[in-house]
Amino acid sequence: VPLALRKAVEVGSPDSIQRCIATIIGSSVDMEDTANDIVRACKEADLTPPENVLVAALLLDRWREEQDRRSGVLRDEACMKIILRDLVGSSAVAQHSAAVALRTAIAAPVAEASKEEASGSGGRWWSRLGHRSDRTSHQSRVLTRSDAADMFRNVGGEFSAVYGTTREASAQQSAVILQEESDLCRGQAQLERLSAMRGWTGAAGNKFVGLSVWETVRRLVTIGEIEEARGLLTKAKLLPEYNRRWWKVAVDALVNARRFSELAQMAEGSARSGGPPIGFEPIVALLLENQQFDLARGLVGKCKDMEQVASFYETLGMREEAMKAQQQAEQQRRSAIGGASLLTGWSSTIAGAVRGGFTRS
């Protein structure tokens, strides 16, 4: 795993890094072992500090998505802190604690509050997030037994210990770090309002505030709001850097929701800009697997791997097209072999020139 992790980090492939992480998680006995194994793998891979930060960031993404799938229940928090402390440092632990406190406060269930309590809590900056009220009742997202208030108090102490500053200065530093999280929450609140106004499919259950950005994207795509999902990633400055991940998440969500027409339309629309970064082949394969033959037929011609194209045409019962594609696949293989031979010949010529110099006839 350390060697694979080293190569994945060198090429900057988030997907490959996540596969390494998944391998470690699958082979570990418990979460504490997982944390120690991940740290050990990073050390054996001889990662630089910036590379450790990249791995830690991807681990946080994975952790948050797992919390979303468990209805926001915070689990294995201590293990996440072990990884952050060893890979990045105590400052990362303090920042993570602040983000978790904010998310817990925002995602706390809406509880009844008296009129005085609802108005009196207005001075607490976190209580204003997610606040809602109407003419007949006064309800707000209160912290009740979620322990979020205690978490915020502890965050102040963690920042003081890390930065050696006063409590007030630590709180200011925490607020700066949480700006990105707060921006996401505001965007999610706007999505919830749009969901109610536009009557999105299953609007009553479209709750986004408190989710990770990628789980929010997944839910938007699931209900067919692809452009809203893309817009959220653009605002978060995750596109175009994470374009490949966007496609993988979108394709997975559309297939699970059986929105095959939207999937084919999305793939077709990308052809003008060079096609999906994951290629057309995985999309065609998924369409065929789900017996969406007409949709698959319209995309087969855009695939570049002629070996797979031939297989796709065979599945579609288009024997003549399959034979032509197989012939083109043979030509591709011969061209690849010829290119390798040419490269080998040039290498030999250059090596000879280096050893003895060129001769003139």
**Tens digit of each residue's pLDDT (9 = 90 or more) over 303-317:** 999 999 999 999 999
User: Is residue 170 included in any domain, yes or no?
Assistant: yes
pTM over 0.85: no
Q: pLDDT (tens digit, 9 = 90+) per residue, 24-78?
A: 888 877 778 888 899 999 999 999 988 998 898 888 888 877 776 655 444 557 8
Please give the pLDDT value at position 174.
56
User: Is residue 270 included in any domain, yes or no?
Assistant: no
Rounded-to-integer distance, Cα 72 and Cα 336, Å: 50
User: Does one domain contain both 62 and 158?
Assistant: yes
CA distances to 41, 50, 55, 68, 208 from 86, rounded to whole Å, are: 12, 13, 12, 25, 32
Higher per-residue pLDDT: 131 or 229: 229
User: Does one domain contain both 245 and 342?
Assistant: no
Beta-sheet strands, E only, within 194-339: none
User: Is residue 266 included in any domain, yes or no?
Assistant: no
Higher per-residue pLDDT: 71 or 334: 334
Name the average pLDDT for the chain: 77
User: Is residue 123 included in any domain, yes or no?
Assistant: no
User: Does one domain contain both 61 and 171?
Assistant: yes
User: Does one domain contain both 208 and 326?
Assistant: no
Residue with tokens 């990308």, as numbered in its chain: 270
User: Is residue 135 included in any domain, yes or no?
Assistant: no
Higher per-residue pLDDT: 331 or 344: 331
User: Does one domain contain both 171 and 66?
Assistant: yes
Q: Which of 132-141, 190-199, 207-216, 341-350 has the highest mean pLDDT?
A: 190-199
pLDDT over 60 (residue 205): no
Contact between residue 217 and residue 65 where contact means Cβ atoms under 8 Å apart = no
The boundaries of the domain holding residue 207 are 179-257
Please give the pLDDT value at position 338.
65
User: Does one domain contain both 160 and 190?
Assistant: no
User: Does one domain contain both 173 and 187?
Assistant: no
Rounded to a whole number of angstroms, the CA Rg of the chain reads 26
